[in-house]
Amino acid sequence: MTQFIIRRLIQLIPVLIGVTILVFSLMHLTPGNPAVIMAGESAPEATVKAIEARLGLDKPIHIQYFNFISNAVQLDFGNSIRDNIPVFDHIKARFFTTLELSVWAIIFGVFFGLLIGIISAVRRYSLLDVSLMVVALFGLSMPNFWLGLMLIQYFALELRIFKPTGWGSLEQNVLPIITLGTASAAIIARMTRSSMLDVIDQDYIRTARAKGVKERVVIFRHALKNALIPVVTIVGIQFGGLLAGAVLTESVFAINGLGRLIIDSILQRDFPVVQGAILVISVSFVLVNLIVDISYRMLNKRVDLN
Partner 1 sequence: MSNIEESKFEVQVDPVSIAPVNPRLKNFKDFYGRLRKNKAALVGLYVLIILFFISIFGYLDTIFGFTGVNSNATNLAEKLQKPSAEHWFGTDHLGRDIFYRVLHGMYITLGVGFTATFLAAIVGVPLGIISGYYGGIIDTIIMRIMDVLLAFPGILLALAIVSVLGGSTFNVTIAIAIGALPQFARIVRGSTLTTKNLEYIDAIKALGARDGKIIFQHILPNIMSPIIVNTTLFIATAILSAAGLSFLGLGVQPPTPEWGAMLNDGRNYMYQAGHITFFPRYDDRYCCSCI
Partner 2 sequence: MKTEINQENILEINDLRTSFFVGKNEVKAVDGVTFQVPKGKTLGIVGESGSGKSITSLSILRLIDEPGKIVGGSINFKGEDLTKVSMSRMRQIRGNEISMIFQEPMTSLNPVYTIGQQLREAFKIHQGLGKKEGTKRAIEMLELVGIPSPDKRVNQYPFELSGGMRQRVMIAMALACKPELLIADEPTTALDVTIQAQILELIKELQEEIGMSVIMITHDLGVVAETCDYVAVMYAGNIVEYADVETLFEDPKHPYTVGLLNSLPRHDIEQDELIPIKGNVPAPDEMPTGCRFAPRCPHASEICKTHPELTETKDGNDVRCWIYTPDWDKEEVSVYDK
Residues found near partner 1 in the complex (CB under 8 A): 14-15, 18-19, 21-23, 26, 29-30, 124-125, 133, 137-138, 140-143, 145-146, 149-150, 152-153, 157-158, 190-191, 193-194, 197, 201, 240-241, 243-245, 247-248, 251-252, 262-263, 266-267, 274, 278, 281-282, 285-286
Rounded CA-CA distance 149/252 in Å is 7
CB of 91 to partner 2, least distance (A): 40
* Reduced 3-state DSSP string for 163-222: CCCCCCCHHHHHHHHHHHHHHHHHHHHHHHHHHHHHHHCCHHHHHHHHCCCCHHHHHHHH
Work out how close the CB of 187 gets to partner 2 at its nearest, in angstroms, rounded to a whole number: 23
Burial 150-169 (b: 16+ CB within 10 A, else e): ebbeebbeeeeebbbeebee
Instruction: Name the binder of 53 from partner 2, partner 1, none, CB < 5-8 A by kind.
Output: none
For the chain, the straight-line distance linking the first and the last C-alpha, in angstroms and rounded, comes to: 13
Cα–Cα distance, 118 to 124 (Å, whole number):
9
- Shortest gap between Cβ of 270 and partner 2 (angstroms)? 50
Stretch that binds partner 2, among 33-41, 135-143, 203-211, 275-283 (CB under 8 A): 203-211
**Rounded to the nearest 5 degrees, what angle is found at the Cα of 233, between the Cα atoms of 215 and 223?**
10
Q: In the bound complex, what is the minimum distance in angstroms from residue 11's beta carbon to partner 2?
A: 25
Spell out the long-range contacts of 217-226 with Cβ–Cβ below 8 A and sequence spacing 24 or more.
219/118, 219/122, 223/196, 223/199, 224/118, 224/196, 226/199, 226/202
- What string marks each residue from 285 to 304 as x (binds partner 2 by CB under 8 A) or -? --------------xxxx--
Find the helix or strand (DSSP H, E) in which 150 lies. helix 144-151
Tell me the C-alpha distance between 188 and 182, whole Å. 10
Report helix, strand or coil for 79. Answer: strand
Q: Whole-number minimum distance, CB 278 to partner 2, in Å?
A: 39
* Shortest Cβ 263–partner 1 spacing (Å): 5
CB 25 within 8 A of CB 65: no
Site for partner 2 in 210-229 (CB under 8 A): 210-215, 222, 225-226, 229
206 touches 276 (CB < 8 A): no
277 to 13, 29, 55: CA distances (angstroms): 20, 18, 18
Q: Please give the residues from 116 up to 145 whose contact with partner 2 meets the rule CB under 8 A.
A: 124
In the list partner 1, partner 2, none, the entry touching 14 (Cβ below 5 to 8 angstroms by class) is partner 1
Does residue number 195 form part of the binding site for partner 2 (CB under 8 A)? no
Least spacing, CB of residue 31 vs partner 1, in Å: 8
Contact flag: residue 305 with partner 2 (CB under 8 A) = yes
Among 70, 204, 254, 291, binds partner 2 (CB under 8 A): 204
From the list partner 2, partner 1, none, pick the one residue 214 interacts with, judged by a Cβ distance below 5 to 8 Å according to partner type. Answer: partner 2
Q: How far is CA 21 from the centre of its chain?
A: 21
Residue 103 binds which of partner 2, partner 1, none (CB < 5-8 A, kind-dependent): none
Positions in the binding site for partner 2 (CB under 8 A) = 124, 201-204, 206-215, 222, 225-226, 229, 299-302, 305
